[in-house]
């Protein structure tokens, strides 16, 4: 049975997430700060991303949903995200196939458009997410919205159709510096019009964490959960 559809101009917003667990969360960052600390940071990133997304949803007519894996992570994520985030297990094996499934479900509920984003972007505030929604809503049916990431990929993708999702998320070398360029090449081949917003930064490695600390020092109101986790991490440092 198909999901009940929202109003004609609502945008679906999917947050791709995993439960924050030592040994599986932020493994590259864990090499320098340890698995437990990396898991604590991962939880804080998720909390701040979900807060920003929920704030954007309230001002930009977004319908949020969390797509998660592994399957046994449902309760952990429900405890973190709360009732505002319906949870859907999503793991088609390949990242792109999982994204297509998520975007398809969002488009079924919100035919005006669907966006999917990562959960390790503590400084991507509500304004960026709301801007992406408005840009997608105002675009032509062949419009695509992308928020690039500093590592050569992207952290948010918005589409108006399942055909666009399939064209952009077909198998490729994911988690590489060529993801954004390949996605834009595919968009051009499919006659899709890409609107690119301001670049954001995933927090995956020590250099990203160093950057994050500097940004938090510049803005005392940003990412409260992440700020607490970083402060605790520094307090434990020898």
Tell me the per-residue pLDDT of 84-111, one tens digit each, with 9 for 90 and over: 999 999 999 899 999 999 999 999 999 9
Q: Is residue 179 part of a domain?
A: yes
- Decide: 126 and 24 in contact? Cβ < 8 Å: no
Tell me: the pLDDT tens digits for 107-146? 999 999 999 999 999 999 999 999 999 999 999 999 999 9
Tell me: the pLDDT tens digits for 143-188? 999 999 999 999 999 999 999 999 999 999 998 999 999 999 999 9
Structural domain total, the chain:
1
Q: Is residue 56 part of a domain?
A: yes
Q: Is the pLDDT of residue 1 over 60?
A: no
CATH code: domain of residue 150:
3.90.550.10
Q: Is residue 3 part of a domain?
A: no
Q: Is residue 4 part of a domain?
A: no
Q: Is residue 160 part of a domain?
A: yes
Rounded CA separation 69/209 (Å):
24
Torsion of CA 83, 144, 163, 188, to 10 degrees: -150
Q: Is residue 140 part of a domain?
A: yes
Structural domain including 69 reads: 11-236
Tokens of 201: 């930064």
Rounded CA separation 126/128 (Å):
6
């Amino acid at each position: 049975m198909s999901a009940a559809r929202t109003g004609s101009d609502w945008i679906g917003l999917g947050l791709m997430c995993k439960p924050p667990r030592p040994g599986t969360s932020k493994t590259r960052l864990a090499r320098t700060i340890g698995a437990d600390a990396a898991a604590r940071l991962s939880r804080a990133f998720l909390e701040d991303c979900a807060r920003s997304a929920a704030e954007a949803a309230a001002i930009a007519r977004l319908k949020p949903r969390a797509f998660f894996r592994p399957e046994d992570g449902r309760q952990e994520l429900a405890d973190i995200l709360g009732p505002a985030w319906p949870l859907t297990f999503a793991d088609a094996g390949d990242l792109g196939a999982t994204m297509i499934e998520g975007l398809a479900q969002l488009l079924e509920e919100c035919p005006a458009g669907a966006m999917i984003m990562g959960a390790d972007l503590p400084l991507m505030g509500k304004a960026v997410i709301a801007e992406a929604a408005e840009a997608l809503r105002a675009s032509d049916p062949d419009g695509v919205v992308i928020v690039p990431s500093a590592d050569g990929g992207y952290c948010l993708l918005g589409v108006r159709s399942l055909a666009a999702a399939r064209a952009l998320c077909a198998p490729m070398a994911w988690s590489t510096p060529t993801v954004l360029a390949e996605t834009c090449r595919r968009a051009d081949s499919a006659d899709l019009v890409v609107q690119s917003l301001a670049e954001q930064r995933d927090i995956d490695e020590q250099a990203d964490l160093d950057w994050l600390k500097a940004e938090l020092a510049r803005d005392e109101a940003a990412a409260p959960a992440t700020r607490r986790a970083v402060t605790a991490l520094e307090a434990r440092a020898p």
